[in-house]
Amino acid sequence: MQLHFSPSMRSITISSSNNNGFIDLMKIKVAARHISYRTLFHTILILAFLLPFVFILTALVTLEGVNKCSSFDCLGRRLGPRLLGRVDDSGRLVRDFYKILNEVKAGEIPPDLKLPDSFDQLVSDMKNNQYDAKTFAIMLRGMMEKLEREIRESKFAELMNKHFAASSIPKGIHCLSLRLTDEYSSNAHARKQLPPPELLPLLSDNSHHHFILSTDNILAASVVVTSTVQSSLKPEKIVFHVITDKKTYAGMHSWFALNPVNPAVIEIKGIHQFDWLTRENVPVLEAVENQNGIRNYYHGNHLAGANLSDTSPRKFASKLQARSPKYISLLNHLRIYLPELFPNLDKVVFLDDDVVIQRDLSPLWEIDLEGKVNGAVETCRGEDDWVMSKHFRNYFNFSHPLIARNLDPDECAWAYGMNIFDLRAWRRTSIRETYHSWLKENLKSNLTMWKLGTLPPALIAFKGLVHPIDPSWHMLGLGYQNNTNIESVKKAAVIHYNGQSKPWLQIGFEHLRPFWTKYVNYSNDFLRNCHILES
């Protein structure tokens, strides 16, 4: 087929050859020329160039979908509807809604506003009352603020209940103490001497490994002792000194007399049996126990004077933990008197009653403390940012001039609960006197220098006398850190349930409790009769 344009561009002749060899002619007459040949030619050329691209872009937009497009595609989609007279108002509507939300955010919720109780009711009210956008935003804000208040109140109530649960003695453990005390009075085997006379010299033999435990919780003490003995490679070298109060002494003695931990040696001592431990030697602790203001702080109404709107649940939980009654117990302060209570011992390991031993601890006696008194794990560095991020600023009030003048807020804290104490080096220091003097100052300042128990004065008293040991020896936080890494727990030599969620309480974390319960003999008759059952 061929095209022939006439010189005047007024007609076009189309010729083609058919199968018989004849030529078909077609002449088309064109309207009067109003544009130049050059213009027509350029127009046809541009259209021929653009049409393939328009086709390809249309296909790509269709395949890619609405939400994925290049800037060129999106430009076409935005301009296209406008060129066709169809404008998309969604962007303007969104901007208007943002404006309404900002107005509502800056304004006040009417005090008499009746809020729906559920989202379904809000939708129903919108349909029935024909809410405009601003009214809807106000109702939504009111509902969210109401929900936030209820959640906060619920959280604070939960923390209070948890505090009361942690501060109380579970019925089963109280029953165990009473039954064992009764057994002490009626059963000669429960009163047998611990240790037997032939083993008494071992109590001051420094070739053995001496552990000291101070507690009034018989079940917890049994787990500490049992786990230590079972994890030891040389249990015959272990000597345990368990110190308890007068009311628990008979029950504690009965338990270990009827449940021996051979081949380890165990001694049960009551505070009343230490001649040195008199009120004349610990006047500060007498003041702590008897001062009305201090007793009210630890035993009074913890919500009185507390502005819950200005504190977070986490801060409130820390304040509650600082108000644990155990912090005014002599048993909790007892570790500061170890050199006087055990004058014949050179080196000991002190254990809290909420720890579990999972590895042989005899290498602790081989650690060179380099002349320091206290071997402890530092708590200012580690993978767990919550548990292992403690500096002096976490324990002390640095707005107090005496604290600001004497302490560094960035100094690293260390852990109480599993400590190696060199008693020979200790006796050459004034640790006890420093501890007492700072306790007095805090009492004078009405507890404005620190709130949390025995660790803050110990951080001051042992300042410069602590030798850091490897963190794998002592893992903390199992009593308040729900996200504790299980693999790290398995590898730690000592795991510490510090915090409120003790493993013997119902509020203990279920996934962490088995590391403790594996050392409890639930078939024991005393435990069964007191309904202490494996959960």
Residues 445-461 have a mean pLDDT of 87
> Residue 193 pLDDT > 50, yes or no?
yes
Q: Is residue 61 situated within a structural domain?
A: no
Question: What is the domain count for the chain?
Answer: 2
Q: Is residue 343 situated within a structural domain?
A: yes
Burial class (CB in 10 A: 0-12, 13-18, 19+), 142: middle
Of 164, 193, 221, the position where a domain reaches its end is: 164
Residues 157-166 have a mean pLDDT of 70
Check whether residue 308 and residue 398 sit in a common domain: yes
Backbone phi, psi, residue 260, to 5°: -65, 155
Q: What is the pLDDT of residues 376-385, one digit of tens each?
A: 999 998 777 7
Check whether residue 134 and residue 260 sit in a common domain: no
Check whether residue 325 and residue 466 sit in a common domain: yes
Check whether residue 135 and residue 280 sit in a common domain: no
The pLDDT-based confidence of 299 (bands split at 50, 70, 90) is low
Q: Is residue 187 situated within a structural domain?
A: yes
Check whether residue 148 and residue 200 sit in a common domain: no
Residue 309 has what DSSP assignment? G
Three-state DSSP class for residue 468: strand
Which pLDDT does position 208 carry in this prediction? Answer: 98
Residues 486-515 have a mean pLDDT of 93
Distance CA 494, CA 352 (A): 11
Check whether residue 206 and residue 242 sit in a common domain: yes
Distance CA 205, CA 236 (A): 13
Distance CA 431, CA 462 (A): 6
pTM as predicted: 0.73
> Residue 219 pLDDT > 90, yes or no?
yes
Residues 354-367 have a mean pLDDT of 97
Residue 389 has what DSSP assignment? -
Check whether residue 137 and residue 206 sit in a common domain: no
> Residue 300 pLDDT > 50, yes or no?
yes
Q: What is the pLDDT of residues 128-149, one digit of tens each?
A: 887 787 887 888 888 888 888 7
Of 164, 191, 213, the position where a domain reaches its end is: 164
Check whether residue 401 and residue 377 sit in a common domain: yes
Percent of the chain whose predicted confidence (pLDDT) is above 70? 72
Of 164, 181, 199, the position where a domain reaches its end is: 164
Check whether residue 119 and residue 180 sit in a common domain: no
Q: Is residue 54 situated within a structural domain?
A: no
Q: What is the pLDDT of residues 75-108, one digit of tens each?
A: 555 555 555 555 556 677 778 777 877 877 777 7
Q: Is residue 34 situated within a structural domain?
A: no
User: b/e for 37-50, b at 16 or more Cβ within 10 A?
Assistant: eeeeeeeeeeeeee
Residues 502-523 have a mean pLDDT of 94
Check whether residue 246 and residue 188 sit in a common domain: yes
Please compute Rg for the chain using Cα positions. 40
* Token reading at 331: 């048993």
Which pLDDT does position 373 carry in this prediction? Answer: 98
> Residue 63 pLDDT > 60, yes or no?
no
**Residue with structure tokens 């009163």?**
191
Distance CA 389, CA 380 (A): 4
> Residue 492 pLDDT > 80, yes or no?
yes
Q: What is the CATH number for 486?
A: 3.90.550.10
Answer whether 251's CB lies under 8 Å from 177's CB: yes
User: Which residue did the predictor score with more confidence, 511 or 99?
Assistant: 511
Residue type, 118: S
Distance CA 99, CA 96 (A): 5
Check whether residue 234 and residue 365 sit in a common domain: yes
**Residue with structure tokens 């109404």?**
301
User: Which residue did the predictor score with more confidence, 48 or 258?
Assistant: 258
Distance CA 195, CA 215 (A): 19
Number of Cβ within 10 Å of residue 105's Cβ equals 9
**Residue with structure tokens 């380890």?**
264
- Flag the least confident range among 8-22, 314-328, 384-398, 437-451: 8-22
Number of Cβ within 10 Å of residue 160's Cβ equals 15
Distance CA 392, CA 413 (A): 6
Q: What is the pLDDT of residues 407-445, one digit of tens each?
A: 999 999 999 999 999 999 999 999 999 998 998 888 888
**Residue with structure tokens 């594996």?**
518
**Residue with structure tokens 């007892």?**
334
Burial class (CB in 10 A: 0-12, 13-18, 19+), 258: middle
Q: Is residue 53 situated within a structural domain?
A: no
Q: Is residue 31 situated within a structural domain?
A: no
Residues 507-522 have a mean pLDDT of 94
Residues 304-324 have a mean pLDDT of 61
The domain containing residue 108 runs over which residues? 98-164
> Residue 167 pLDDT > 70, yes or no?
no
Helix (H) or strand (E) holding 210: strand 209-214
Q: Is residue 59 situated within a structural domain?
A: no
Burial class (CB in 10 A: 0-12, 13-18, 19+), 289: middle
Average pLDDT over the chain, rounded to an integer: 82
Check whether residue 197 and residue 148 sit in a common domain: no
What string of H, E and C letters represents the secondary structure of 339-378?
Answer: HHHCCCCCEEEEECCCEEECCCCHHHHHCCCCCCCEEECE
Residues 119-127 have a mean pLDDT of 81
* Token reading at 429: 């220091």
Which pLDDT does position 444 carry in this prediction? Answer: 84
- Flag the least confident range among 37-46, 403-412, 463-472: 37-46
Q: What is the pLDDT of residues 221-278, one digit of tens each?
A: 999 999 999 999 999 999 999 999 999 999 999 999 999 999 999 999 999 898 887 7
> Residue 495 pLDDT > 80, yes or no?
yes
Which pLDDT does position 175 carry in this prediction? Answer: 96
